[in-house]
Structure 1
Amino acid sequence: MIEYLAKTIIIALLILALLVIIFKTFKSKIFRINARKILYESAFALFLRNNRFTQIVLPSFTGAYFLCLDVWGSDWKIVSDHKPFHEFIFSILIIGSLCTAILRGIGDWYEGKSDKEYIAFIERFSVLTARVVSQKLARFKKNLKRLTPTGNTFRAITHPNDQIDIILQETLGLLREIFKISENAACITIMHSNPNKQDWSYIKDTSGNWVHTPAQELLKNGSTAANCLETGEAVFFPCKEEAAKLNLYYLSDRDRRMETGSVFCYPALIQTPNYIDSYVISIITYGPTLCDPIDTRHANAIKEILIDICRRIDLELTLRSMRDWQDFHSPTKKGSAHDETTN
């Protein structure tokens, strides 16, 4: 019986080794997603991984069954007279136990990997928040010394564009550090609709010299930016290709060159007494994704952190709109609202 056990285990391990080789050999993203769905997300995998029967009773019963066959198999006629049958049953039990252990290991690996990235993301986000607040506080204290009784205090202490630049650079640093994204594989843009001209343009672009799809054209086509404006809610797609299939992302030439990536869009809609200032903040990666496309738990966690980052940008955009509105109604600066170079 021991020889039969050894043969069964060897066969099971050879099958496992073959699966590992196939998984390592085939780099297809579709193959990997389907493999994860089968090995991690499927109802069968969840049952084997999380059910207490398969975790505790099945291995214990398999061990006890083997002990009975090995010690008393030759003495019990019910075993010795039906040896092929018992060998078959035992094979099923040992393979089931091995599959349970393997799937449990895969589940622990996926969850551990996601948790480590999420914890690192949270820690780095805390550092980002502290830096942004400390720099804003330092600027306030510095400008406070220069205030005059007749000056514009609000304009003197608020510099939303400068603060937005700080947040954008800190966010890029977070993406590069946590997700190992290279400098040319991530970009953050802010689009703005000028109420006077009723058109869209980029007012912030961390990429520098990249040629982007014109903002006006982007919002006319099926895009994540258009979708978030339509719903008024932040939108996150871990895989841009999947979003494009749903007509919820506009694939640019760069997207086609760099293959996949993630996209997050946040609408900032600011109501003034006379008009609505509309902005769309977009965080995009080219190539690397921010999480596994089918890891919904991790995707939701990342989305919430990105929303928190964009709320800080939203605050500065609100201050920017307040300054623009004030300039528009100022006798000395009449008509200067929505000057994109305003600090």
Structure 2
Amino acid sequence: MALAKILQKPWLSSASVILTGLYYGTLDIWGDDWKWISEHKDLHGYIYSFLMLVTIIFVLCKCFIDIKEEKIKKDKEELLKKFLIFIKNVVQAKRTRFFDRVSRIEQSKRINFFDEITHPKDQIRFIMTQAVEFLEFYGVNRTHIEMTVLGTNSELGTWEYALVLDRQKQYTDPNIIMANTSLAKRVIDSGESTFISDLNEGVQQNLFYKSNRSDSVSNIGSIYCKPVTLKIQDKTYKYVFTLVSYGTYLCSPNDQQEANEFATLLDEIGDRVELELYLLAMKQHKK
């Protein structure tokens, strides 16, 4: 990375080309007149060959870096376009559901519009499926992705799975997760969303609670948790949205800049889930 930054400096390749050109011109014009050149032609031949080689290496390396950076730039543009499509689809799904339900209401029927059009669990499931498609475009196979929403309230006292991506799978007891040193426990205590690009790092820092599935892939993967807390009157509702990949990383575990950029995308997904969880808490409170 440091070498790439050095080679990207335009003055470096320009200086090597100019220096080599000046040196060649000096040898060509005054090579027979100046003794320090004419009497040491072999030495100057080696020096000139070295300068030529360095110049060629600089130019080739800069071309390679420029091509690579151009590809990264295009990939980021495509990723942003795909993410915008994800956002658009989420909004479109909600708008369509609102319109369809309202337009089909019988004329004589008295309804509660909030209950009629608000279906947060359906919307969260749609967000999850769209997130899977986005991550697949990013290069993460859907079989490696898992998403859950843990929920509780001040009266319930225990945690349960409010939503899961795959209802056929067996999941670790949520109360065990929240009773141990897990990322879900940490974020609900701190109130801040957290992304760990490497599960093994999370294990070492006592931030990730290992499961049978994570053990089966040697804790290779990434995890993101988003806490949501809402107090309605005298009752507090708490949720934790979790997105985790098993057997593959969501981004390079050694690139902090890439991890920060990906965390921003995950926060955008988490924010849309958070909005629906507010609605879910309101619906649950009405019952």
Q: Which runs of 5+ in 2 are unaligned?
A: none
Aligned-partner Cα distance in 1 for 2:250–2:75: 10
**How has the CA–CA distance of structure 1 residues 298 and 109 changed in structure 2, closer, same or farther, with 3 Å as cutoff?**
farther
1:1-343 map, 5 Å: 40=1, 42=2, 44-49=3-8, 51-69=9-27, 72-73=30-31, 75-82=33-40, 86=44, 89-90=47-48, 93-94=51-52, 96-101=54-59, 103-105=61-63, 107-144=65-102, 145-146=104-105, 150-176=110-136, 178-259=137-218, 260-327=220-287
Match of 1:164, SS state, is helix
* Contact preservation (8 Å) 2:153, 2:236: no
Match of 2:221, SS state, is coil
Match of 2:192, SS state, is coil
Offset at 1:292?
A: 2.3
- Deviant stretches of 4+, over 6 Å: none
* Contact preservation (8 Å) 2:4, 2:65: no
Aligned-partner Cα distance in 2 for 1:222–1:110: 41
* Contact preservation (8 Å) 2:177, 2:209: yes
Aligned-partner Cα distance in 2 for 1:214–1:113: 44
The amino acid across from 1:308 in the alignment is E
TM (norm. structure 1) is 0.72
* Contact preservation (8 Å) 1:189, 1:202: yes
The amino acid across from 1:280 in the alignment is V
Match of 1:285, SS state, is strand
Aligned-partner Cα distance in 2 for 1:67–1:83: 14
**How has the CA–CA distance of structure 1 residues 113 and 207 changed in structure 2, closer, same or farther, with 3 Å as cutoff?**
farther
Aligned-partner Cα distance in 2 for 1:164–1:157: 14
Match of 1:262, SS state, is strand
**How has the CA–CA distance of structure 1 residues 89 and 198 changed in structure 2, closer, same or farther, with 3 Å as cutoff?**
farther
The amino acid across from 1:205 in the alignment is V
Q: Deviations over 1:276-327 (max 9, x none)?
A: 3211111112233232233333333322222112211111110010111122
* Contact preservation (8 Å) 1:59, 1:97: yes
Aligned-partner Cα distance in 2 for 1:196–1:83: 92
**How has the CA–CA distance of structure 1 residues 165 and 80 changed in structure 2, closer, same or farther, with 3 Å as cutoff?**
same
* Contact preservation (8 Å) 2:223, 2:242: yes
Equivalence for 1:32: none
Identity %: 28
Aligned-partner Cα distance in 2 for 1:174–1:247: 30
Offset at 1:225?
A: 2.3
Q: Which runs of 5+ in 1 are unaligned?
A: 1-39, 328-343
* Contact preservation (8 Å) 2:187, 2:194: yes
The amino acid across from 1:115 in the alignment is K
Report the RMSD for the aligned CA atoms in angstroms: 2.8
